[in-house]
Amino acid sequence: YAPWCGHCKALAPEYAKAAGLLKEDKSEIRLGKVDATVQSELGERFKIRGYPTIKFFIDGNPVEYNGGRTADEIVAWCKKKSGPAAIQITSVDDYNKAKTANEVFVLGLFKKQDSANAVLFNAVAQAVDSVSFGITSEQSVFDELKVSKDEAVILLKDFDEGRNDFDGEYSEEALKKFISSNQLALVNEFNQETAQKIFGGEIKVHNLLFAAKSIDEKVLKDFKEAAKEFRGKAIFVLIHTDVDENERVLEFFGLKKQDSPTIRLISLGQDMTKYKYESDEINKEKVAQFVRDFFDNKLKPHLLTQEIPDDWDAKSVKVLVGKNFAQVAKDKSKTVLVEFYAPWCGHCKQLVPIYDQLGDHFKSNADIVIAKMDSTVNELEDIKIQSFPTIKLFPKDSDQVIDFNGERTLEALTKFVESNGKEGAGATEEEAAGADDADENGDDESKDAGKEEL
């Protein structure tokens, strides 16, 4: 952790609580913490690139933690990794305790625990970290749950309908889908505790309702009713616009507090494509139709753009927005260098004086344009920015787009432009299509501001 990290501060009380729960349980599992800003050698040794990072050591070997951030979730994950994935339920009392202790609990009921389906259930329990699992062959538990079959899998939860019974063909894929489809509420409020469950699951289509805490109950009820049709296909999320921690999420979608209530849908593929709810009315049928249209490929992506400033070309560094980008950057009669930045990005702020000098250096050259674009409020269909700052060159008389990967100095940038991208270049967009967008050195700040807030 880092002492200045807000997410580390938010995690600290839950982490301490988890340690206390393990101690009360007389567990051999121990929780520790390392200030990586002081113990920098340890941070480098274990390749720590973000805070908080949690690793679980088993026999000295580190395993990446990918569970939730509540005390119960931390405890459940650690126990699962260090012992049986599914706990043995040997009585109705055991069952009631496990159900009470877990918001979501998946119970496998197998008369023979060495059957093929029981073995499969245990394998799924080992693989799925987001919920707790139990297994039983005790007849009294079968009776308590009114199960007459020899084998059953039941998901129990303390929200919505409370119980879901698996009724498909037994396979790893089918069981995982059953769990991921039912472990979340119909509508999930976005916060520190739910973030990992929302973004870490297998369902990558999210329908987001942005609203103040004083939201009309009818709007929330209709949103919840619409969600029923898409269980297992899309996650419906409520984001409170009057919670300060959600400001970056609003920014990511180009929204302001006064825009609420409104809806956006996002597909969490490689490009994080967003879609805008166009109706002024939020009711069950219109919300459901909006999501249906997405799955039927009837929606067009929603790209953010500002209006073109009157003085966009008044200075040596030209100001681009979504509406004038193609006209300027893709003008084949000129070589155009564009910095894609975020106003809050520290690396971008450090670059400002150097980039302004670069603009002054080329301002008398009619064949070269130095430009910048705020990519938090301007998006492009064919160019996706993953980190800030990103610098790209659009050479004269060419369709090529060349990434700058050199040092961010006036000399290096000048050479890059004057050499038409031959010095300091990265891969072309075509060559980089399959490359990993992540910055391994952690030097740049993520484009996915809303998601990165997790």
Instruction: Report the C-alpha gap between 416 and 335 in whole angstroms.
Output: 11
Structure tokens given for 220: 């929330």
- What end-to-end distance do the CA atoms of the chain give, in Å? 15
Longest alpha-carbon distance in the chain: 86
| DSSP code at position 308 | P
Torsion of CA 343, 346, 348, 353, to 10 degrees: 110
From 234, 345, 351, 391, the catalytic residue: 345
Instruction: Report the C-alpha gap between 184 and 295 in whole angstroms.
Output: 20
From 78, 135, 329, 348, the catalytic residue: 348
Identify the H or E element spanning 276: strand 273-276
Length of the chain: 454
78 as an active site residue: the answer is no
Residues in CB range of 173: below 8 A, 6 or more apart: none
345 as an active site residue: the answer is yes
Residue 66 amino acid letter: N
Structure tokens given for 187: 């509508």
Instruction: Report the C-alpha gap between 32 and 450 in whole angstroms.
Output: 29
Which parts of 203-267 are beta strand (E)? Answer: 205-211, 235-240, 262-267
Instruction: Report the C-alpha gap between 443 and 346 in whole angstroms.
Output: 10
From 5, 303, 352, 425, the catalytic residue: 5
8 as an active site residue: the answer is yes
Instruction: Report the C-alpha gap between 239 and 223 in whole angstroms.
Output: 13
Identify the H or E element spanning 104: strand 104-110
| Cβ count near 358 (within 10 Å) | 23
From 1, 2, 8, 95, the catalytic residue: 8
Catalytic residues: 5, 8, 345, 348
